[in-house]
Chain A
Amino acid sequence: MSLLVLTMGLFCLGLYGVLTRRDLVAVLASVEVMLGSATLFLIGSAATRGPVGPEAGAVEATGVLLVVLAAAKAAVGIALVVSAQRRIGTARADDLTELRG
């Protein structure tokens, strides 16, 4: 229960940051908090069952793959932010209004 409260609290905190932050780098950091809390919940809820053998290896391998995915996502996201700064001259979500209808 406390694990669920902690990881869900972190996840919702990250969601709040994604929705309210204006700076794109800060939005990316909030997304990292969401991803990290999800991984935390995966490993923590696996640990409550105390897996052994191949099952434990599968849990940890899934966690490693999640870290790889998050790293690739962060690299592409930061490249997008830097390229927005270069081409449009801003990295703030409020100023990126080219798609405004």
Chain B
Amino acid sequence: MTAESFVFIVLGALALVGAIATVFARDMIRMAAGLGAFFLACAAFFVYWGAGLLGVVQLFVYVGGVLVLMVFAIMLASRASDGTPRLESRHDLAAATAAAGLFVMVFAGLRGVVPDSVDHAIESSPDLVAETLLGPMLVQFEIAGVLLLAALVAVVILVGREDR
């Protein structure tokens, strides 16, 4: 086994375990922990593939921001554990069929397009990303800023006032 496939298997297993915990855990705090493991595995993948800045951004924004926000939402809006048995849902079988069907469809469609193994890396650096964001992708960068402002205003309007 080469070092590349070993790293891929270890990180992939961590991401898979995290995602399974996120989707199946009854206890909400365990769900948040699984989500954290998934985010950490994603960040490690990004660093491993050469996108170091993206890995750091992923760590800061997701693990430091979104995950903490999720835990706060669990405290504010959900009970600590999901009381009803999950298997009670009438839609379990249909949902599993839909997910498996999508997997088969996309896998059949993209099988020949994606190369077998990830044996290269992205030769990127933070200054290259900055040059791209403030050069050819300036419009997208500004739109992202406007979107963040709109999201901020929306959040303040949604939860800001008690009397509405």
Is the CB–CB distance between A71 and B117 below 8 Å?
A: no
CB proximity to A under 8 Å, residues B94-152:
94-96, 98-100, 102-103, 106-107, 110-111, 114-124, 128-129, 131-133, 136-137, 140-141, 144, 147-148, 150-152
Identify A16's interface contact among B23, B120, B132, B140, CB under 8 A: B23
Known contacts A47-B120, A58-B137, A76 near B74 by CB under 8 Å: no
Choose one: A29, A44, A69, A79; the contact of B49 (CB below 8 Å): A44
User: When chains A and B are docked, how far (Å) is the Cα of A44 from the Cα of B115?
Assistant: 10
Specify which chain A residues have a CB less than 8 angstroms from the CB of B99 in the assembled complex: 12-13, 15-16, 19
A83 to B76, CA, bound (A): 10
Interface string of B60-73 (1 = CB under 8 A from A): 01100110011011
Distance in Å from the Cβ of A65 to the closest Cβ of chain B? Answer: 5
What is the bound-complex CA distance between A37 and B12, given in angstroms?
Answer: 11
- Asked whether A79 and B77 contact (CB < 8 A) given A23-B28, A48-B115, A56-B122, the answer is no
Given the known inter-chain contacts A23-B28, A69-B144, please indicate yes or no for A63 contacting B46, CB distance below 8 A: yes
Question: In terms of DSSP, what is the predominant structure of the interface of chain B?
Answer: helix
A59 cross-chain contacts in B, Cβ below 8 A = 51, 122, 124
Interface bin, chain A? 35 or more
Interface size class of B (residues with CB under 8 A): 35 or more
CB-based contact A64/B54 at 8 Å: yes
Q: Which residues of B contact A45 (CB under 8 A)?
A: 114-115
Report yes or no: B23 in contact with A25, Cβ–Cβ below 8 A.
Answer: no
Q: How far is the CB of A11 from chain B (nearest CB, A)?
A: 8
Q: Contacts A14-B23, A26-B31, A80-B158 known; A69 to B133 CB distance under 8 Å?
A: no
> What distance in Å separates the Cβ of B123 from its nearest Cβ neighbour in chain A?
4
Q: Is B35 touching A32 in the complex (CB atoms < 8 A)?
A: yes
> CB within 8 A of A40: which of B45, B123, B158?
B45
Closest to A46 in B: B122
Bound Cα distance A61, B77 (Å): 34
